[in-house]
Structure 1
Amino acid sequence: MAKIVLNKENYFHNLKIISEQAGSKDKIAVVLKDNAYGHGLVEIASMAKEFGIKNAVVRTCEEAKKIETFFEQILILADTTFHTYSHSFHIVVNSLEQLEKVPENTNVHLKIDTGMHRNGISIETLEEAIHGTLRKNLNLTGVMTHFRSADILSCEFFWQKENFKRAKNITVNTCEKLFLPIPKFHSANSSALFRFKNYQEDLARVGIAQYGYLESDSIFDNPDLKPVMSLWAQRISSRKITKGQRVGYGGIFTAKEDMDVSTYDVGYGDGFLRLNGKKRYTTPKGYEILGRVSMDNCSINSKDEKVCIFDDVRQLAEIHDTITYEITTTLNPNIEKEII
C-alpha cells in the first residue's frame, strides 16, 4: 500500500528555526488546515504538541474538533456554520455581516483588509466592528491581517505593515475607550515571518515553513528548512520489456534497451498529480517514472519492493508549474501515514 512517511526530526528542526525567528514557541500558531497541507491533521498536531506548540490554525470547526485536545487555542479561518463553540476555539470574522451571525460569547478574531482585498473588514469600519463585538457580547481576542506579497521583493509588504499598524492603533484606542481587553495582533504567514527583523507581534501563523518549504524569492536570506513528508509506493508487478516496446497509455515511453519495469500503487487517483511523459521525473534514488501516470499506478524502471516517489516536492512543483502547497495538499487524505 502507498504510504506517507513523516520525519519528526525534520519537523522539529523546522519548528526550532521558526520559534527562534518568532522569539518564542509560544508565538507560533501552526497552520493545519486542509489536512495539514496534506501531511495528516492529527499526525502533525501530535508532533506540534510534543514540541510544545500551544496554538493552531484550521479551516473549519470540524477540523478543530479533531485536534481540540492538542492545543490551548485553535483559530478557525473559514467556517460558515455558526453554533456554540469550545472555549478554546476562536473564529475569524471577515465582515460586518458575518459578525451579526456569530453566537454570543464566541471568541473572535477580526480580520482586517490591509490591501489584499480578498477577505476582511476595512480599516474604515474597524471601530464599528469593535463596537459590534461588544453589542453582540462576543469576546474580541484577536485582530489580524494577511500579506499579499510577503514572498516577493516588493514595497507592498511595507505598505501593508503600515496599514496594519494603523489598524492596531485604532483597535487599542477603541478598546481602551470601551474598557475592553487589548486583543492579540498577528499578521505574519511563513514568508512574512522571515521578513521581520525583530518580530514583535503576538502570534505568527506558520503554514508551509513548518513542512519544510518556503516560496519566498531567493534574494531573501531564507532559512535552511527540511521537507517533512515523503511518499512511498508498493510494487504491484514486474516485467521485462525489450528494446522498442512502449509503456502505458499512448505508449509515450519507448524502451531504448531491454529493461526491467515494475508497476507501483501510486497514481493521480491518490493525488499524485499526473505526469504526462513529456517531462522527465526521477525519484530520489534515481529511478524514472516511465510514460504517463495512471489513475491508480505508475511504471518505474525498478524492481524494488518499495520506492520513494518523492522526499522533496520542489522538482514536481516546477514540472507542474505550480507551488509546493498544491503538490502536498492534493494527496489523498486516506493514504496511510507513518511518523519516524
Structure 2
Amino acid sequence: MSRGTRALIDLAALRHNFALARAHAEGARVMAVIKAGGYGHGLRRTAQALPDADAFGVTSLEEALPLRAAGISQPILLLEGIFTDDELAAAAEHELSLVVHSEWQLAALERCELRAAFECWLKINSGMNRLGVPGEQAAVFERRLQACPAVRGTPRLMTHLAAADDRGGARTPAQLESFRRSCEGLTGERSLANSAGLLGWPAARADWVRPGIMLYGVSPFVDGGERPDLRPVMTLESQLIAINQCRAGDRIGYAGAYTCPEDMAVGVVSIGYGDGYPRHASTGTPVLLNGRRTQLLGRVSMDMICIDLRGQADARVHDPVVLWGQGLPAEEVAAAAGTIAYELFCRLTNRVRFEYHDG
C-alpha cells in the first residue's frame, strides 16, 4: 500500500464515546448502533471493541450474521426487521431480535411455526413518517404480538426522532408526546433516543438508548451549540506526493477550477474520489498538513487532490496529510463538502487501508 492512504481507527476513542453515552443514559440500557459496517469503521472490529454494550443494532440479517460468526454474543436487533418471510429461520437460529414496523411483518410472525423464537420491538410512527405503525394502532399490534406463538416476552416499544439534532426545535417535544400517547396502557420497555436524543433531550432516554454517530466521535447536533466531549475514532490520512511551484494566473486541475492569485507552491496529495473522498468538496475545504491547516484547491480527481502550500514553506514530499479526524472534525469537512459526516465515513472504498489501534 505505497500510496499511504489509510484510515486510522482509534478503538480507545470508540470506548470513550461509548462511556459518554453510558453516562448520559442515566441507567438506561445502551444499544450500540453499528449498522453500515460500523458507520464505515468496520463492523466486526467495532463490535468487538464494545464488550459492555447491552445490545447491537444493525440493519439486516446480512449485517448480523458476521457478528455471530465472530463470536459476538450480545443481543442483536435487526432495525428494519425481516425483509422476507424466508429470513425468519436464520434469524431464529442466530437468536436475533426483530423490529416489527408494519402489518406484513406481523402477519409473517403469525404464520411462522417457530415457537417463542423472537424478542420483538414494535416500532411506532411518532412523526418521522418513515417506518412504524400508526400510533392509534399500537395497542392492537402489541396485543397481536403478545398472542403470537413465535414471539417471546413482552414486545418493547420504540420510535425514531426526526429532528433531535436541533436542541431548540419544537418537533422533538411533539414526537415525545405522540409516543407517550401511543404507549398509554402498554407495558413494554421503551426506546426513543438516538445520539442527539440521548445527549440533547433527557426526556427521551427511557429504558433503552440507541447511540450511533456519537460513538464515532461526531457531534449529532446542527444548532451550533456546545460540542459534546467526543473523540474522533477515524482519522483519514494520506501523503504529499508532489510540490509544484506555480505562477500567478496558473490554473489548477480539471477545468482549471482554481486560478493562482500569486506565485505560490501547490501540493498534490494521493487521495481522491476513488478512495471515497467527496468529489464535490470545493476550494477552501480544510485539510491538515503536518498538523497545520491549509485548504483544498480546485476539483477533486479520482486519485489526487491539490492543496495550498502558502505558509507551509517546510512542506516536503511524503509529509502526512489529514483529511478528517484527529485535529480536524469530520463534520467540519462534511459541511464544506455539502454533505454529512455519516456519508464521509460510509463512502470510503477498499483502496483505503484500515489500521486499528488502541489509543
TM score, norm. by length of structure 2? 0.81
Per the TM alignment, residue 114 of structure 1 is displaced from its structure 2 partner at its CA by: 1.5
1:176 aligned residue: none
1:110 aligned residue: 122
Query: In 2, Cα distance between the equivalents of 1:188 and 1:242?
Result: 52
Query: In 2, Cα distance between the equivalents of 1:240 and 1:187?
Result: 53
Q: Sort the Cα spacing of 1:276 and 1:210 in 2 relative to 1 into closer, same or farther, 3 A.
A: closer
Cα deviation 1:79-101 (Å, max 9, x = unaligned)? 41323114541111111122112
2:106 aligned residue: 99
Is 1:38–1:332's contact at 8 Å kept on the other side of the alignment?
no
Aligned partner (choices 9, 12, 18) of residue 9 of structure 1: 12
1:180 aligned residue: none
Q: Sort the Cα spacing of 1:155 and 1:286 in 2 relative to 1 into closer, same or farther, 3 A.
A: closer
Aligned partner (choices 162, 167, 171) of residue 182 of structure 2: 167
Count of residues paired in the alignment: 324
Q: Which moved more, 1:223-232 or 1:153-162?
A: 153-162
Is 2:266–2:306's contact at 8 Å kept on the other side of the alignment?
no
Q: Sort the Cα spacing of 1:187 and 1:71 in 2 relative to 1 into closer, same or farther, 3 A.
A: farther
Q: Sort the Cα spacing of 1:107 and 1:247 in 2 relative to 1 into closer, same or farther, 3 A.
A: same
Matches within 5 A, 1:147-162: 147-152=161-166, 153-162=168-177
Query: In 1, Cα distance between the equivalents of 2:83 and 2:256?
Result: 47
- Determine helix, strand or coil for the equivalent of 1:137: coil
Is 1:7–1:339's contact at 8 Å kept on the other side of the alignment?
yes
Letter in 2 for 1:298: I
1:58 and 2:58 matched = yes
Q: Sort the Cα spacing of 1:205 and 1:304 in 2 relative to 1 into closer, same or farther, 3 A.
A: farther
Q: Sort the Cα spacing of 1:132 and 1:208 in 2 relative to 1 into closer, same or farther, 3 A.
A: same
Aligned partner (choices 20, 24, 30) of residue 21 of structure 1: 24
Aligned partner (choices 330, 339, 345) of residue 313 of structure 1: 330
Which blocks of at least 5 consecutive residues in structure 1 are unaligned? 173-182
Letter in 2 for 1:320: A
1:119 and 2:101 matched = no
- Determine helix, strand or coil for the equivalent of 2:193: coil
Per the TM alignment, residue 37 of structure 1 is displaced from its structure 2 partner at its CA by: 1.5
- Determine helix, strand or coil for the equivalent of 1:268: coil
Q: Sort the Cα spacing of 1:296 and 1:185 in 2 relative to 1 into closer, same or farther, 3 A.
A: same
- Determine helix, strand or coil for the equivalent of 2:274: helix
- Determine helix, strand or coil for the equivalent of 1:299: strand
Query: In 1, Cα distance between the equivalents of 2:105 and 2:243?
Result: 59
User: What is the RMSD computed on CA atoms of the aligned residues?
Assistant: 2.5
Cα deviation 1:250-300 (Å, max 9, x = unaligned)? 122344325363341x211222111464x3123123243332111222234
Q: Which moved more, 1:39-48 or 1:301-310?
A: 301-310
Query: In 2, Cα distance between the equivalents of 1:169 and 1:241?
Result: 70
Cα deviation 1:1-28 (Å, max 9, x = unaligned)? 421111233222212211111024x711
Query: In 1, Cα distance between the equivalents of 2:268 and 2:316?
Result: 6
1:47 and 2:49 matched = yes
The percent of aligned pairs where both chains have the same amino acid is: 27
1:132 and 2:144 matched = yes
Q: Sort the Cα spacing of 1:197 and 1:269 in 2 relative to 1 into closer, same or farther, 3 A.
A: same
Q: Which runs of 4+ in 1 moved over 6 A?
A: none
Is 1:215–1:323's contact at 8 Å kept on the other side of the alignment?
no
Per the TM alignment, residue 221 of structure 1 is displaced from its structure 2 partner at its CA by: 5.5
Q: Sort the Cα spacing of 1:232 and 1:91 in 2 relative to 1 into closer, same or farther, 3 A.
A: same
Query: In 2, Cα distance between the equivalents of 1:28 and 1:62?
Result: 22
Is 1:10–1:226's contact at 8 Å kept on the other side of the alignment?
yes
2:263 aligned residue: 257
TM score, norm. by length of structure 1? 0.85
Query: In 2, Cα distance between the equivalents of 1:93 and 1:238?
Result: 54
Per the TM alignment, residue 334 of structure 1 is displaced from its structure 2 partner at its CA by: 5.8
Query: In 1, Cα distance between the equivalents of 2:108 and 2:350?
Result: 31
Letter in 1 for 2:183: K
Is 1:111–1:143's contact at 8 Å kept on the other side of the alignment?
yes
Letter in 2 for 1:192: G
Matches within 5 A, 1:192-271: 192-197=197-202, 201-218=206-223, 222-235=227-240, 237-244=241-248, 245-255=250-260, 256-257=262-263, 259=265, 261-264=267-270, 266-271=271-276
- Determine helix, strand or coil for the equivalent of 1:210: helix
- Determine helix, strand or coil for the equivalent of 1:147: coil
